[in-house]
Structure 1
Amino acid sequence: MANEELNIKELEAQLSEQEGLRRQKLADLQAQGKDPFDVYKVERTHTSSKIKESYEDLEGKSVTIAGRLMSKRVQGKAGFADIHDRDGKMQLFVKIDNIGEEAHKAFKTLDLGDWIAVTGEVFKTKTGEISVLVKSYELICKSLKPLPEKWHGLKDPDLRYRQREVDIITNSEVKETFLKRINIIKAIREFLDNRGFLEVETPILSPIAGGAAARPFVTHHNALDIDMYLRIATELYLKRCIVAGFEKVYDMGKNFRNEGISVRHNPEFTMIELYEAYSDYNDMMEIMENLVAHACLKVNGTTKITYEGTEIDLTPPWRRATMVELVKEHSGIDFDTINSNAEAQSIAKEKHLDFKKKIEDCTKGDILNAMFEEYAEQHLIQPTFVCDYPVEISPLTKKKRGNEEYTERFEGFIFGREVCNAYSELNDPIVQRDRFEQQANERELGDDEAYVIDEEFMSALETGMPPTGGLGIGIDRIVMFLTDSSSIRDVILFPTMKPQS
């Protein structure tokens, strides 16, 4: 431990020394009237990828590119350097005969991490690498902090998440993950837009934390002198859009839930919810499996992925199974043969299941769901739609046609993890009010995540909502699978972190 503390202090001293040297270089430049922070604009003509894509047309021609200096190998009168821009890397060939002795000497003093703009001719080296023969350059931003050591990069997970910009600079695979995320989201929008869905925006601040069972973040509006909540879901507002007659709508954005942080959960996360009039949960299954397959094909060129060493086939159609079938498959207990809450409670005691309320207050549906989570969920590796959830845990859902113990609800699972939730939406305002009142009773029994009634939503429902299918998808979890990322923090640019002391 003493040696580790000594090494950390030595490293901090080295960094402080390097930062001091960089600041001195800046001061010298400013004294010479060459302040890099006085540069306002760069007339860039090409990016690295455009030069490589159009080499035959650009060979021997002048281009101006810009980027961060990431390596420098200048010995004597000539040498090479690499700059990185958004698209990738471009090699520079720097020669004293082309830029002059003074500029060549100054180039040698540049630090890794500095931003430069370069004008020069496009050519290929003897090894065939497309490069730029530098004719002139300008320092356009001085990096005052040294980048992590080249070969080891930024490895400490806590530092990586806190200093994501440095993580991306030094770890190319991290940059690739976030470029993929951008394209996944673009592909999802493309898929829905092509099906006639309209993207709408719903409030992030709301007087009611409605639309899901979760703990909200509470804030206070000073002018109105009321507590408000960061949204936990967009469901109720989007249904009001259906009432308004928009017929097909979606909202992709941030939701906030005041809950724990783990490899699968971040308090601030991205979801998409979509609603389609005249549809049911079967239509939502078709949308979900094809939407994910479309996004995967766009970013990976295939509908098969490898996640944590396991091959997963996202090709539609996905497996469909009821919750009762899956519990029977993995526990041997058939809930279709259980006829009372008391019989189900006996099984719960035998299996030592945990609940937020007393087992005596649990229904058959509560216990079926707990059995599914305990015995079946972790086995759903290949994409599976778990259908027909108990009515007690699905307050916004229509009852199952032909069996009113259950609802027309499904959740999608991949690799044992929930990725979506969907319903044939309940549009009967009288039944909906009864369900909300049952949820109020659940709160009294100790479930502080039970739904709360939203009178504005109830008013809209009484105005009339046509039969509607609804689907909510956890975008971050989909991105995790399509980029083979083990933690949700690896796919969120700036995840929630405890402040450093």
Structure 2
Amino acid sequence: MRTWCLSDQNLRRIKKLQTLKQININPYPSEEYTRTYNSKEIRNNYKNKKKVLLAGRIIRIRRMGKASFLELKDKYGIIQIYISINNFNYENKIYNLFFKKLIDIGDIIGITGYLFKTKNNQISVEAKKIKLLSKCLHTLPNVKIDKMGKTFDSFSNPEKRHRMKYVDFLVNEEIQKVILTRIKIITFIRNYLNQRNYLEVETPILQSIPGGAIARPFITYHNSLKSTLYLRISNELYLKKLLVGGFEKVYEFSRNFRNEGIDKKHNPEFTILEVYLAYKDYYWMMKFTEKFLHKICCNISQCFPLKFGKQDLNFLSPFIDPFQQITFFEALKIYTGFDISDMLENEIIKICTEINVKIDKNMKKGQILDQIFSQKCEKQILKPTFIIDFPIEMSPLAKKHRFKNGLSERFELIINGVEIANSYSELNDPIDQFKRFKKQIKLYNKMESENMLIDQDFILSLEYGMPPCAGIGFGLDRLIMLFTNQKNINDVLFFPSIKSLENRKNNFN
């Protein structure tokens, strides 16, 4: 057992644990515990003196001499338990020693008893048997609110909450609801796509080339293959290979990994929903996206507007309130005051100085434009908006625009100042794709080698012929942040990435 960071309360509970073992009560029994009812079923099917077996965690105890009350919490709610010394026949040991001295808030117990209602008409269980199922060795945070409305002892420290998610879920019901909404959204998406004959597929997480995006990868080594491998930064190229192979409608909940910064919108591992289908383009995908988000919204909020901070976000039918569409260069003009659509690179650099956009001296035109958009435009776009027709320099995997020179058939969906989705009419010309990859090498010369940017097998697959297609990637974690009104990505993840515990011991003393 760990020896650091044990408080006096921890030590007292450990002593109780030892006492339990000394009197032959197993604090962690292994046999199955049969439950006949949960708290919800008890409330919905109350019958006086009905026998019930239930289990849960103690969240409150009121000890009062020869009779006591406790509140037991399970998945479905809270139920009151009445404990009386008269119901136990072991020389009062069960009540006076086991219950009064060795049972604590946080312990998981099983109760056998009979239903009744108190004088206040509260449904309760009169316990005839108590079985300890798991001893809790820590004091649970117990939120208290005084007469002035001031809150005490809440589990609200962000670092503790995000490190100890199991406690966060246990004591902060709102965060548990957020995670349950996450599960509900993912289940809905899966059903929605499956019903429309999309195939859920799986692509490799360990890859020989970190392709499909420009990002710093996590690197590992495979001993048997004697080769360096990379954790997936994108699954896009593999999904396109499946289209080459004849699978026309595919999707994947892709766990991706990028060895880069951490903030309220970025986690080193994150989930992307990627959807690809043959014989469609990015115009079709915009219509699909509006309808798709409308269906998700209706599934979780009955089609009412969502509240995100102070902003009301409306996802009505695309026929009633379609998302706004603005071209990339129109957005730059709106939010910077400059029309830079026809400017050369050196002219754009001068504009960056005027509008106070920070850029690196080694950046090329596409990267500079990306910085201008990120720093000056994105955060100001609140209503759901498609930013369309990006410069070709910023879109190496998208088709050239069929009508507009120098642009690509690409859109990003921005909502409340955050990129939610990215979509292309996918490039399927292998020669053009190879040339684009070669240009990327010059832009990102910090990469280790040419092979880290050019997936030769992907080019080969395109040479066999990929049907015209549209693809989209939704930032699933960000989407869930939006639908649950959360401002920190850590609140929508089961277990976010944070600094190692060894570096944070002092915070828990």
TM-score (norm 2): 0.89
Deviation string for 1:87-112 (max 9, x for gaps)?
22222222333345443332223111
Give the CA deviation at 1:286. Answer: 2.5
Q: Equivalents in 2 of 1:372, 1:24: separation in Å?
A: 60
TM-fit CA distance, 1:35: 1.1
CA contact (8 A) 2:336 2:355 kept: no
Q: 2:58 aligns with which of 63, 69, 83?
A: 69
Separation in 2 of the partners of 1:449 and 1:389?
27
**Does the C-alpha gap of structure 1 residues 66 and 253 become closer, same or farther in structure 2, counting only changes over 3 Å?**
farther
- In structure 2, relative to structure 1, the CA distance for the partners of 1:408 and 1:124 (3 Å cut) is farther
CA offsets 1:465-498 (integer angstroms, 9 cap, x no match) = 1111101111111111122112111111211111
Paired with 1:373 and 1:251, the residues of 2 have a C-alpha distance of 27
Whole-angstrom distance in 2 between the partners of 1:382 and 1:111: 50
Q: Equivalent residue for 1:9? A: none
2 CA distance for matches of 1:296 and 1:99?
53
The alignment partner of 1:38 has SS state of coil
Q: Which of 36, 45, 59 lines up with 1:55 in the alignment? A: 45
Identify the residue that residue 129 of structure 1 maps to in structure 2.
122
- Which of 12, 24, 35 is the aligned partner of 1:33? 24
The alpha carbon displacement at 1:310 in A equals 2.1
Tell me whether 132-141 or 312-321 shows the greater mean CA deviation. 312-321
1:367 Cα deviation (Å)? 4.5
State how far apart, in whole Å, the 2-side matches of 1:298 and 1:268 are: 27
Distance in 1 (CA, whole Å) between partners of 2:231 and 2:209 is: 9
CA distance in 2, matches of 1:233, 1:318: 27
| Aligned position for 2:246 | 245
1:157-172 counterparts in 2 under 5 A? 157-172=158-173
What residue number does 1:3 align with?
none
Distance 1:162 1:369, change over 3 A: closer
CA drift of 1:222 comes to 1.2
- The 8 Å contact of residues 324 and 368 in structure 1, kept in 2 or not, is answered as no
Q: 2:150 — aligned with what?
A: none
Is 2:340 aligned against 1:351?
A: no
Cα offset, 1:75, TM superposition: 0.8
Q: Does 1:96 find its partner at 2:85?
A: yes
- Asked if 1:108 is matched to 2:100, the reply is yes
Aligned-partner Cα distance in 2 for 1:301–1:133 = 40
Question: Cα distance, 1:131 vs. partner?
Answer: 2.7
Higher alpha-carbon deviation: 380-389 or 184-193: 184-193
Q: 2:339 aligns with which of 324, 334, 339?
A: 334
Structure 1 residue 398: Cα displacement: 0.7
CA distance in 2, matches of 1:126, 1:391: 74
Partner amino acid, structure 1, of 2:45? Y
Instruction: Report the aligned-residue RMSD.
Output: 2.3
Cα distance in 1 for residues equivalent to 2:345 and 2:107 = 69
Structure-2 residue corresponding to 1:120:
113
Measured after TM superposition, the shift of residue 124 of structure 1 is 3.5
**Percent identity between the two aligned chains:** 40
CA distance in 1, matches of 2:288, 2:41: 36
Instruction: Tell me what 2:147 maps to.
Output: none
Q: Give the drift of 1:268.
A: 1.0
Matches of 1:86 and 1:309 in 2, distance apart?
A: 32
Stretch of structure 1 that moved more, 388-397 or 185-194? 185-194
Please tell me whether residue 78 in structure 1 is matched to residue 59 in structure 2: no
Cα pair 1:320 1:387 within 8 Å, conserved? yes
Task: State how far apart, in whole Å, the 2-side matches of 1:241 and 1:123 are.
Answer: 61
Note the 1:319-468 alignment, pairs <5 A. Answer: 319-336=324-341, 338=342, 340-358=344-362, 362-363=364-365, 365-444=366-445, 452-468=453-469
Cα 1:216–1:184 change in 2 (3 A) is: same
> Cα 1:331–1:212, aligned 2, differ >3 Å: closer, same or farther?
same
SS of corresponding position for 1:173:
helix
Q: Deviations over 1:271-312 (max 9, x none)?
A: 111111111112222332333332333233344211122222
Greater CA drift, 426-435 or 127-136: 127-136
Counterparts of 1:481 and 1:449 in 2: how far apart (Å)? 38
C-alpha separation in 2, matches of 1:449 and 1:186: 40
**Aligned residue for 1:8?**
none
- The Cα shift of 1:76 comes to 2.3
* Aligned pairs, number: 482
Cα distance in 2 for residues equivalent to 1:379 and 1:319? 14
Q: Return the letter of the residue paired with 1:108.
A: K
In 2: Cα distance, 1:135 partner to 1:162 partner:
39
Corresponding residue number in structure 2 for 1:154: 155
1:87 to 76, 91, 109: 76
Paired residue for 1:145?
A: 138
**Residues 235, 254 of structure 2: 8 Å contact kept:** no
Kept in 2, the 8 Å contact 1:397–1:407? The answer is yes
Amino acid at match of 2:104: D
Classify 1:297/1:148 alpha carbon distance in 2 versus 1 (closer, same or farther; 3 Å).
same
Distance change >3 Å, CA 139–CA 381, structure 1 → 2: same
Give 1:202 shift: 0.8
Please report how far the alpha carbon of residue 187 of structure 1 lies from its aligned counterpart in structure 2 after TM superposition.
1.7
- Aligned-partner SS, 1:400: coil
Report the alpha carbon displacement of residue 405 of structure 1 after superposing the two structures with TM: 1.1
Note the C-alpha offset of 1:49. Answer: 2.4
CA contact (8 A) 2:303 2:315 kept: no
- 1:199/1:250 contact within 8 Å kept: yes
One-letter amino acid of the counterpart of residue 19, structure 1:
N
Judge conservation of contact 1:205–1:230 (CA < 8 Å) in 2. yes
SS in 1 for 2:209: coil
Describe the shift of the 1:320–1:19 C-alpha distance in structure 2 as closer, same or farther (beyond 3 A). same
User: Take 1:375 and 1:17, find their aligned partners in 2: how far apart are those partners?
Assistant: 53
Between 1:118-127 and 1:244-253, the stretch displaced more is 118-127
CA distance in 2, matches of 1:161, 1:399: 43
TM-superposed CA distance for 1:449, in Å, is 12
Provide the TM-score with structure 1 as the length reference.
Answer: 0.90
* Inter-partner Cα distance in structure 2 for 1:177 and 1:205: 30
How far has the Cα of 1:369 moved from its partner? 3.6
How far apart, in 1, do the equivalents of 2:63 and 2:462 lie?
71
Q: CA deviation at 1:346?
A: 4.3
**Which blocks of at least 5 consecutive residues in structure 2 are unaligned?**
145-152, 504-509
Change in Cα spacing, 1:296 to 1:94, as seen in structure 2 (3 Å) is farther
Could you tell me whether the CA contact under 8 Å between 2:243 and 2:466 is conserved in 1? yes
Structure-1 residue corresponding to 2:276? 275
Please, which runs of 5 or more residues in structure 1 have no aligned partner?
Answer: 1-11
Alignment match, 2:236: 235
Change in Cα spacing, 1:296 to 1:93, as seen in structure 2 (3 Å) is farther
Aligned-pair CA distance for 1:219: 0.8
CA distance in 2, matches of 1:305, 1:267: 28
Q: Distance in 1 between matches of 2:448 and 2:76?
A: 48
Residues 138-192 of structure 1: per-residue CA shift (max 9 Å, x gap): 0111112222344323222111122111122222222222112211211221222
- Equivalent residue of 2:378, what SS? helix
Q: Once the 2 structures are TM-superposed, how far is the Cα of residue 423 of structure 1 from its aligned partner?
A: 0.7
**1:349 deviation in Å?**
4.6
Q: Is the CA contact (8 Å cut-off) linking 1:443 and 1:449 kept in structure 2?
A: no
